[in-house]
Amino acid sequence: MRLFGKLIAAAAMSVAFTVNPAQAQDDVKIALVVKALGIGFFEAAHEGAKEAAEELGGVEIIYTGPTDTTAEGQIEVINSLIAQNVDAIAVSANDRDALVPTLKKAMDRGITVISWDSGVAPEGRQMHLNPSSNALIGEMCVKMAAEHLPEGGGDVAILSASATATNQNIWIEEMKKVLPNYPGVNIVATVYGDDLADKSYREAQGLIQSYPDLKAIIAPTSVGIVAAAQAVTDAGKAGEINVTGLGLPSEMAGHVESGASKSFAIWNPIDLGYSATMIAYNLATEKAMAEPGAEIPMGRMGSVKLDDNNEGAMAEPFVYDASNIDDFKDIF
Amino acid sequence: MISRFLKSREALLAGAIVLLTILIAIRFPAFVSAANLVRVFNDTSILIILALGQMMVILTRCIDLSMAANLALSGMVVAMLNAAMPGIPVPALIALAIAVGAILGAFNGIFVWKLNIPPIVVTLGTLTIFRGLVFVLSGGAWVNAHQMSDAFKAFPRAVFFGLPVLSWVAIFIVVLMTVLIGRTALGRAFYAVGGNPTAAVYTGIDVGRTRFVAFTLAGALAGLSGYLWISRYAVAYVDIAGGFELDIIAACVIGGISIAGGIGSVGGAVLGALFFGVIKNALPVVNISPFWQLAISGAAIILAVAFNARAERRRGRIILRQSEAAS
């Protein structure tokens, strides 16, 4: 067993030495920790991070994450990053609280820690970058649903990711807050597809069956919105039930074309990865401080203003529909 | 004949499914409409195909944990090929998916047969390898609905005699398996190898080779399911069917297929899968919390195992050494 451990250590050392032999000692190492590898949204954020690194110069981006969306997986990844002694960690969290002890440990070692996209509790990070303000996202979802409802409104259902997903739950709360401004929108149910294609599809089918007068499904998750659009198409209700929410143009292009989705929104993940990298760099090199009221520059994206919780919003979500989807579907 | 069926586990399970359906219908009457029952069967089709594949493996006293990962890899291969070259006809792609799946299954089989590694260890390893390969192959990118050709997506949805092709495929596989298991030397060899490997050796059956064939056939069915899954949900990505391997095994166990090998039937596997399908499809319409769904499935597994343990005949004393089975 000890021999085995030595072998592993030796292998790890040799990998560490061979990955980047030409790496200068004073590069700023910024780790982008995502919810899981292999999700289009985060791949696009990685592109943005690389763009920021090129613009800044002397920055090495480490793009990493677990293979499934679990907090345990992220904790392992972050531990290995602490061992590598990176300068900054920018994480999109699978769990608001579970990552806190590990991230605290990172901050104790002098590593800059920020969260972006999906937040960590305030004690586990220096600041959090929301892609957009939660209120704007929630309102946008309801607005997109309301725009395509028939005269006098109709039944709308929400298909979320898992019941514990930090950002989805906040957005759903925000949706419910703005309902009085949209009297036609009648929310009948909230169901959870756990970000699995098959479960989301089945839940969407259940909604179509349970609520014969359903006019719209709001899915604030990129896996859910695709599955719901497919379920609506298969039920022969494309054009009758409008699937909207948050999705990626590349993944939704076919469903906009089929009429299952009239419009959907997303912030630009490339911009988000870019901004998170810029902020991490500025904090790690002490060009800016993360404190309530501070304004942290984000390169071409302007600057972000922090509130009392050290949270800031990047921009408002952007709506995609038949008129502009073709321009974006090949980008992300 | 009839009285024997009524005492069998399959009858008990069929009764349980009917009872479950009635309970659901009390809360949501539309659940028992013909159209909806067709939908439930269609939704369960892929699980039925996979459970039958798993059944062959379990009969030979092995287990295959890599089926869902095999499905994801085979599916990704054909989805990427379809996106790159829409001109390739769908039947060719289906044949390719089955071939890829069979090769992956054979990979498991070789390890079990030639290296004598316990199947649970082999397939635990290949599960991770296959998922990793999906990553490597796709670079983590999705294959989306608009990248797939219309014919690719339309095939499982086309309706004949009131049933989608997806359901017909499952029915065809059930018929095929019934013949294979009940009417061929190979099918009987599965039982012999799992029931008593030592005796199987003395009757001239090659235990390792039989297991290899079981793994390969299970892989082929996983490959077929890969195409069906990808085209049905019109999306392919790394996590497709994540965790599904456990559903497959659970369906087999509920269906009365003994993990100890040598006991089980095609009807049992199909009913086990249907039991799961009914629970999964009822959940969204009767507002039961997901926890209860898990609890119900779990209770069903425990109950099924308890019944099976009672029903399993007492084994004779092993006079011959186990090692002879490995020769």
- Tell me the per-residue pLDDT of B237-291, one tens digit each, with 9 for 90 and over: 888 888 899 889 989 988 889 888 888 899 999 999 998 888 888 877 877 776 6
| Cβ–Cβ gap A36/B239 under 8 Å | yes
Nearest CA of chain B to the CA of A251: how many Å?
Answer: 5
**Helix or strand or coil: residue B14?**
helix
Query: Quick check: A281 and A222 in contact, CB under 8 A?
Result: no
The rounded distance, in Å, linking the Cα atoms of B62 and B261 is 7
- Please indicate if any CB of chain B lies within 8 Å of the CB of A235: no
Most A CBs within 10 Å, among B73, B135, B153, B239, to test the A interface:
B239
* Residues in chain A, pLDDT under 70: 1-25
Summarize the confidence of residues B96-109 as an average pLDDT.
96
Residues of B in contact with A255 (CB under 8 A): 145
C-beta separation of A227 from B233 below 8 A: yes
How much is the pLDDT for B280? Answer: 83
Q: In whole angstroms, give the CA distance from residue B182 to residue B59.
A: 13
Query: What does the DSSP 8-state code read for residue B315?
Result: P
**A191–B284: do the CB atoms touch at under 8 Å?**
yes
Number of A:B CB contacts under 8 A?
87
Q: Looking at residue B3, what is its pLDDT?
A: 61
Among B144, B234, B284, the residue with its CB nearest the CB of A250 is B144
Query: Does B145 touch chain A if contact means CB atoms closer than 8 Å?
Result: yes
pLDDT tens figures, A84-106: 999 999 999 998 899 999 999 99
Question: 3-state SS of B37-105?
Answer: HHHHHHHHHHHHHHHHHHHHHHHCCCCCCCHHHHHHHHHHHHHHHHHHCCCCCHHHHHHHHHHHHHHHH
B67 contacts B245 by C-beta, under 8 angstroms: yes
What local confidence, expressed as pLDDT, does residue B279 receive? 85
Of B28, B140, B148, the CB nearest to A38: B140
> pLDDT category, B6, cuts 50, 70, 90?
low
- Rounded distance, CA A81 to CA A86, Å? 6
Average pLDDT over residues B199-221: 95
Question: pLDDT higher for B318 or B120?
Answer: B120
| CB neighbour list of residue B149: distance below 8 Å, 6 or more residues apart | B82, B86
Query: Residue B135: which of A37, A230, A251 has the nearest Cβ?
Result: A37
Q: What is the model's pLDDT at position A176?
A: 92
Which residues in B40-64 are b (16+ Cβ under 10 Å) and which e? bbbbbbbbbbbbbbbbbbbbbbbbb
Return phi, psi of residue A114, to 5°. Answer: -125, 155
Terminal C-alpha separation, chain B: 40
Of residues B167 and B310, which shows the higher confidence score?
B167
Minimum-distance CB partner of B233 among A36, A227, A255: A227
Q: Are A297 and A281 in contact (CB under 8 A)?
A: no
Q: What tokens does A239 get? A: 């054009």
Q: Give the Cα separation of B301 and B284 in Å (integer).
A: 21
